[in-house]
Amino acid sequence: MKAHLIGIDVGTGSTKTVLVDETGSVVATAVSQEYPLVSSRPGWAEQDPEHWWQAAIAGVRQVIGSSGVSPSSIRAVGLSGQMHGSVFLDRDNRVVRPAILWCDQRTADACAWITRTVGKKRLIELVSNPALTGFTAPKIIWVRTHEPRTYERISKVLLPKDYVRFRLTGEFATDVSDASGTLLLDVRRRRWSTDMLRLLAIPREWMPSCHESTAVTGAVTKIAAEVTGIPEGTPVVGGGDQAAQAVGSGIVRRGLVSVTIGTSGVVFAHSDRPRTDPLGRLHTFCHAVPGKWHLMGVMLSAGGALRWLRDLCCDEEKRQAQQASVDSYELMTARASEIPAGAEGVSFLPYLSGERTPHADPHARGAFIGLSLRHTRAYLIRAVMEGVGFGLRDSLDIIRDLGIPMESIRLSGGGARSAVWRRMLCDMFNAPVCAMTVAESASHGAALLAGVGAGVFPDVPAACDTLATSDRMDPVPDTARRFERLYRYWGGLYPKLKTSFRAAARLS
């Protein structure tokens, strides 16, 4: 009987599930219905963890049912998920408050306190990263400061995919790639930082056990088997969504870089050793490949910015898409393709949730600049796509400046499905690009990690040898030169508006 693997990616907007066979080929895919992100105050972002679990159940049942494969052929389950989010459980393992997400910006004061308490230089020594608002530790400090009664009830702190792991297996566990984004992991030594936990007065027993991303950390329980259809005893592994996405894109060797446009935008570079950006603009995290690391630049609103615009003012495209049974984003990007590069002077800063790379500014906000009576909705769509591309270019330039080899750029995520956006990014980066042929790289990467954990593949690079990419796309020199000029102009906008953003934050 052919072996099969399940990959589940607990995303910010929805949960994606894939069923993969022993050759690495996708047999079935399921995307759950979108679940809500609650922003009760400016800069806040929360979700109910129960939505993730119900979406995981629905996705697993769908891929098993639509594929027709025997559940007994499922060898392992791989988990991936949005990083940094904090799920707080009490002693009875009940969720005590909504999860605070990666894009939540409420923790600026907590980050400042952490930096003062530990010291800026000591932070890099202990956990290889500065204190940023999206990370997990500042969220714990925020709850301690602002919700002391909730804090007193906490018994465990889990990351989003690890909450689903707990519901599947009954085990409290995480992996080094996801734990790297907590600000509590000794990234160089790939273990919880005792010193950091002590300095922040966070109990060690709150943290789950920490493993390599290919390690089996538990097995599907009888109760979980009954609701999901996965056989009881099936082993479970997992990695953070960006490391899993990188595995699903084959970024497991030196010289390979990926650019992912999901809700967030991520530039990910493989590294054989832990390297840090002296200015702290890039994250240094453990890779899902055992004994490897990566550098990562993150912008908080990438595909999420286009979704925001769609929901705000693209009802006509949504209506036409529904009538034609096509994706509304396909119609939106088609409109954008009719507008020249530069959108005739309209620029967009995609900082709708603040920003991480390169500005690390929770007060940054989105902005359209250069609007006139001439400009239509198509210009706004074009400007949003270009603003996201320029934001990704910021991280690529930092990676280049650090001397990290960049032989190939692979595009993945929902945004990479757009031929218009792929063409735009190729010219913006002035570098050859190719796209992954599998649309859901994070869930696919999770399935490959599961295959390594279950012994279907000997190691992660061997698992990635099963992946395929689209044909290479090369930049058009004239367009690349125009984008270079536009990028220099765009890059000067944030410094001019930074003070205004902070003033606006005080008014909210």
pLDDT tens figures, 363-416: 999 999 999 999 999 999 999 999 999 999 999 999 999 888 888 799 988 888
The answer to whether 479 and 341 are in contact (CB under 8 A) is yes
Q: Is residue 245 part of a domain?
A: yes
CA gap 389, 425 in Å, rounded: 6
Q: Sorting pLDDT into bands at 50, 70 and 90, what band is 356?
A: confident
What's the number of domains the chain is made of?
2
Q: Is residue 169 part of a domain?
A: yes
What is the end-to-end Cα distance of the chain in Å, rounded? 60
Residue that finishes a domain, picked among 207, 234, 249: 249
User: The domain that contains 326 carries what CATH number?
Assistant: 3.30.420.40
Domain match, 245 and 335 both: no
The tokens describing 214, both together, are 């290919």
Q: Is residue 278 part of a domain?
A: no
Q: Is residue 446 part of a domain?
A: no
CA gap 92, 166 in Å, rounded: 13
Q: Is residue 459 part of a domain?
A: no
CA gap 481, 267 in Å, rounded: 22
**Could you tell me the sign of the dihedral formed by the alpha carbons of 393, 398, 401, 403, in that order?**
negative
Domain match, 215 and 305 both: no
Q: Is residue 494 part of a domain?
A: yes
Residue 277 appears among annotated catalytic residues = no
CA gap 117, 141 in Å, rounded: 12
Domain match, 212 and 316 both: no
Question: 162, 178, 241, 361: which is the annotated catalytic residue?
Answer: 241
Q: Is residue 89 part of a domain?
A: yes
Q: What is the pLDDT of residue 408?
A: 79
Domain match, 114 and 209 both: yes
The tokens describing 82, both together, are 């949005």
Domain match, 180 and 241 both: yes
Domain match, 192 and 71 both: yes
CA gap 202, 80 in Å, rounded: 25
| Whether residue 127 has pLDDT greater than 90 | yes
- Tens-digit pLDDT profile for residues 60-114: 999 999 999 999 999 999 999 999 999 999 999 999 999 999 989 899 999 999 9
Domain match, 14 and 117 both: yes
Domain match, 98 and 234 both: yes
The answer to whether 81 and 159 are in contact (CB under 8 A) is yes
Residue that finishes a domain, picked among 185, 216, 249: 249
CA gap 186, 171 in Å, rounded: 22
Q: What is the pLDDT of residue 174?
A: 98
Domain match, 183 and 121 both: yes
3-state secondary structure of 174: strand
Domain match, 306 and 245 both: no
Q: How many helices (H) and strands (E) does the chain have?
A: 19, 22
Residue that finishes a domain, picked among 249, 284, 309: 249
- Calculate mean pLDDT across residues 457-475: 89
Domain match, 316 and 230 both: no
3-state secondary structure of 238: strand
Predicted TM-score of the model (pTM): 0.87
Mean pLDDT for all residues in the chain = 94
Q: What angle do CA 483, 485, 488 make, to 5 degrees?
A: 105
Choose the weakest-confidence range: 153-157, 246-250, 252-256. 252-256
Domain that holds residue 138: 4-249
CA gap 388, 398 in Å, rounded: 16
CA gap 195, 165 in Å, rounded: 27
Nearest to 76 by CA among 158, 14, 20: 20
Chain center to CA of 82: 5
Q: Is residue 96 part of a domain?
A: yes
Q: Where are the beta strands (DSSP E) in 113-195?
A: 156-158, 173-175, 185-186, 191-192
340: region left, alpha or beta (phi > 0 left; psi from -120 to 50 alpha): beta
Domain match, 323 and 185 both: no
- Calculate mean pLDDT across residues 212-224: 97
The answer to whether 284 and 123 are in contact (CB under 8 A) is no
- Tens-digit pLDDT profile for residues 168-211: 999 999 999 999 999 999 999 999 999 999 999 999 999 999 99
Residues in Cβ contact with 479 at an 8 Å cutoff, skipping those fewer than 6 apart: 341, 427
SS3 content of the chain, % helix, strand, coil (to 5): 45, 20, 35
